[in-house]
Every structure is written in structure tokens, then in C-alpha cells.
A and B are shown apart, each in its own frame.
Chain A
């Protein structure tokens, strides 16, 4: 028999005022292919979440429009939204990550690029592209394709679940993109990708969709097209602030890192 226990507290703050607070706890016992799940309480886990929530509240930026604080088994994350654009961060990284978000807080939405051009993926945002193009296919046991020889993507996969009543699924625990001897030339003209709103991978069509937030546009391409478009990379992996991954309705944070990456046109 395997057991899984969870406690979570989440709070929604709008313009610095508490709007919602919820406590969740439960325990799942699995024997073979049967799970018995109840909302049993583990006091130690709840106490760890209360401590993490104190830390989250102390770190919450005062100028954010919408902040969701989540303490899950004592781990603290916060999703911060300004002007319709969001990041996912932790108390440790919030100050640095807000430097990425604040420039867009008062601006009009960045314009959609007028015409396709090579893309330069900043701030570790290429991790989202490869989360969809390599991570999800690996979770689903889709036949791998060939990627540039200098590109390395480390995405350990294990059984994970969001809550006690969920069925564990093969999910990425993190995704780290690195390069070894990659070519690099900054293209001109180019589109500089700064933040990404979300993405998806459909195993039926092998199509990856990336919804870029800054600047606002959407990419739809097959894995093969993406692999063929990868042109170069520079430097060490950078932590990207913002991958909350949803599959079968189960949302999990996936720590994501990537170097500066250059791709040819993707539309």
C-alpha cells in the first residue's frame, strides 16, 4: 500500500486586500489500482502550510493587482498578475522576478509582431517551448524525435498528483535546458520573447501551441518544425518565473530553466 498526504492553503489577494482563503487537506491510500481518498487532516502538514503562508504574505509585493499565494505541504509559491500578465515565483525570487513584470504593469499590451522573424527567447522562456515539445511527449511516451546535438534537456519524470482525490500521472518534476558548444548569432530583425502566457501539446496531431505574452502572439508548430527551427543558444540556464502545468485538470508547478535560445521563424 502507498499513501499520500497533503495540506494546502491558498489565498487570493486583489490590490492588497484578501479576497479568498481556502484550506485543503487529505490522504489517499492506494492498493493496486484502487485509491481510497478522504479529507483526513495531518496537523503537522497544516502547520507547515501556515508557516509558509506567513512567509508568503511577508514577501507579497504591495503594487500587484492580483496575487495568489499557495502553501502546499509547506512549499511556498505565488502567482502575481499585473496588467493581465503573470509570473509564478517564490519568496526567495520575488524581488528579482518583479523586475521582469513591472515594466509591463503600466504599458499597453506589447504589439503583435507585424511579420514573422527569428525569435530570441529571453529570461529562460525557452523552457516553456521545450516543456511542451519535449517534456509532455516524454510524459506520454511519444516516440522521440531528433534535436540539435548541442541541446540537452533534463526533465525527470515521476508519478505526481495535485490533490488527494487525483490519480497520480507521469509528470515532469522540473525541466532544465542547457547547451554545450551551441552556435550563437543574434539575428536582425528578430522578435524578443520575454514572457510566455502558456502552452499545450496535442499528442494526436504532434502540434505544440505557445501563447507568448510579451509580445503577444501565438505559435502553432509540430515538434519536427520546432526542432528544425532551433538555431543557437548562449550561456547558462536561467530560471523562468512561471510554469504552472495543467494536465487532466491537475495543476503542478514545474521548475524550469533555459539559456538564451534562438529559433528561426515560428508562426
Chain B
């Protein structure tokens, strides 16, 4: 089985713009995994996204710094990849943002450019650490929790096979391939908590904080609280959870 990938990407990383073009193939022969570059040119220049757009997103994030709140890390990337595995071909367009904001002892991690301003404002208003009986985790904030989970359908895995709905138990049916250079490994993807229980109002998680904590908003006040990932009280259809 031979897997090939052609990719182009542009990223802004802490002040440097990086444009990357690469292509490679991986094959598995008698249990041995081989990977090497191959000729590119399959994806025309410019398809990876606009450096100007990536720079604009990064500069928008940098403008969110205020008072004693610092922006420790900004990474914005856009890319396009064409994958081929045996007779299956598929393409993928990606946009990623990784931001770390710090204030006092807290490092807040954000992966959505749209919310950086709101999170920065909240962090600047944070009053300290406080425990809450429950917190509400919205669907866009991804955390690994200890409860019954399921893999939701969508997309193709590292061998070009469909990712199908499956209860998370036993061996994962799909393979994760982050790069052509890495041997695919079985992994659950598109995972959510299986809906159960009754959702009810609680302080809302705005962003994750390093050290298994979260920034939460409660009655227009902001605190950092410990996330109790082993105590899921309810899970909703859209992926929201009450911890």
C-alpha cells in the first residue's frame, strides 16, 4: 500500500512568515514503514492561502495585548493538501490558530482566532481562582473527559477510509496519519461525549488554562477554575458538557 501527499502551507509564527511546499510518499512492506520525498508541482502556487490574510489574522491577535496580559505565542497557518492512498484521492484545506496569553500565573490556550479578543478581555478581568460546583463546556472547546464517548462520522482517515460513527470502546477502527513521515496509528477521531443527563445553567468555560484549568465567566465576573474531567454530569447533542 502506497500513500502519497502533496502539500503547500503558509504560516505566521511569532513574527516570521513561512511558506512551505513539500510532497512525499510512505509505503509499508512486510511490516516495515518507509517514507521519502517525491516530486511536487501537483498543487499550483498560491493555493495554500494568502500570506496577507495570515498576517492580518496574526496582527489582529497581537492587538489584543493589554496592561499586564501578554501574548506569549501566536501561530496562524493555512494550507492545502492532496492525499492519495491506493486508488482513493482526497484533498484537505486547513486553517489553524494557536495562541497563548499569559497573565500572572495563568497561561490561556486558544485555537480560534475569532474569540481571542473576547478571551483577552476576560483574562484581563480575571479576579483569581475559584472552585465551582459545575461548569458548562461549550462544544467548540475540546477536552478529553472520562465518560461514555462516541466517534462521530466525517472525513477520511490516514488510509482514505471513511470515519464512521462508532462507540469508543475496544480498538479504534480508523488510523491517524499526521504526516507522510509518520506511520499511521489507530486513534479515535471526531470524538464527543454520548449525550446523557440534563443540561442546566452554570458558569461558562471561555478558554482552557494550562494545568487542567479553565477560564470561566460567572455573572459577568471572570475566574480560573479547576476542570474536573472525571466528573461529567451531563452531555448535550451539540457536544456541550456539564462538568
Contact check: which of B36, B51, B72 meets A23 at CB < 8 Å? Answer: B36
**How far apart sit A38 and B34, CA to CA, in the bound complex (Å)?**
20
Interface residues of B in 1-44 (CB under 8 A from A): 13-24, 31-37, 40
Report yes or no: A24 in contact with B181, Cβ–Cβ below 8 A.
yes
Q: Which residues of A contact B213 (CB under 8 A)?
A: none
Interface size class, chain B? 20 to 34
User: Is A39 located at the chain interface by the 8 A CB criterion?
Assistant: yes
By beta carbon, the residue of chain A nearest B21 is A38
Closest-CB distance, B209 to chain A (whole angstroms) = 11
> Given the complex, which residues of B lie within 8 Å of A20, measured CB to CB?
32-35, 183
B31 near A167 with CB under 8 A, answer no
Judged by DSSP, the binding face of B is strand
Question: Residue B20 contacts which of A21, A25, A38 (CB distance < 8 angstroms)?
Answer: A38
Nearest chain B CB to A243's CB is how many angstroms away? Answer: 23
With contacts A33-B17, A165-B18 taken as known, whether A22 is within 8 angstroms of B36 at the C-beta atoms is: yes
In angstroms, Cα B40 to Cα A18, docked, is 28
Q: Are A39 and B31 in contact (CB under 8 A)?
A: no
Known: A21-B34, A204-B102, A204-B105. A39 touches B19 (CB 8 A): no
- Which residue of chain A has its CB nearest to the CB of B39? A39
B107, CB-defined interface residue at 8 Å: yes
Whether A25 pairs with B37 at a CB distance below 8 angstroms is yes
**What are the residues of chain B within 8 A of A33 when measuring CB–CB?**
15-17
* CB pair B16 A35 closer than 8 Å: yes
A204 proximity list for chain B (CB < 8 A): 72, 102, 105, 107, 210
Complex CA gap A170/B27 in Å reads 36
Residues A14-29 near B (CB distance < 8 A): 18-26
Q: Which residues of B contact A146 (CB under 8 A)?
A: none
Which residues from B are CB-within-8-Å of A57?
Answer: none
Q: Are B18 and A37 in contact (CB under 8 A)?
A: yes
Instruction: Report the minimum CB–CB distance from A68 to chain B (whole Å).
Output: 13
A142 at the B interface (CB under 8 A): no
Please pick, from B18, B21, B40, B107, the residue contacting A167 in the complex, using a CB distance under 8 A. Answer: B18
CB of B15 within 8 A of CB of A19, answer no
Q: Is the CB of B22 within 8 A of A26?
A: yes
Q: Of residues 30 to 84 in A, which have CB atoms within 8 Å of B's CB atoms?
A: 33-39, 41
- Chain A CB within 10 Å — which of B17, B20, B72, B107 has the most? B20
Contact A34 B17 (CB under 8 A): yes
A21-B21 CB under 8 A given contacts A34-B16, A204-B102, A204-B107: no
On chain B, the residues within 8 Å of A205 by CB distance are 105
Closest CB in chain B relative to A69 CB, distance in Å: 14
- Report A-chain residues with C-beta under 8 Å of the C-beta of B17: 33-35
A39 surroundings in chain B (CB, below 8 A): 21-24, 37, 40
Given contacts A39-B40, A205-B105, contact A165 B34 (CB under 8 A): no
Q: Which residue of B lies closest to A33 (CB)?
A: B16
Partner of B13, one of A22, A23, A41, A167: A167
Complex A-B: 5 CB contacts under 8 Å? A20-B34, A21-B32, A34-B51, A35-B17, A38-B20
In order of increasing CB-CB distance, the 7 nearest A-B pairs are A22-B35, A39-B22, A23-B36, A20-B33, A39-B37, A165-B20, A35-B18
Seen from chain B, the residues whose Cβ lies within 8 Å of a Cβ on chain A are 13-24, 31-37, 40, 51, 72, 102, 105, 107, 181, 183, 210
A: which residues have CB within 8 A of B? 18-26, 33-39, 41, 165, 167, 204-205
15 more CB-based (< 8 A) A-B contacts, given A20-B35, A24-B37: A19-B33, A21-B35, A23-B35, A23-B37, A34-B16, A34-B18, A34-B19, A34-B51, A37-B19, A38-B22, A39-B40, A165-B18, A167-B14, A204-B102, A204-B105
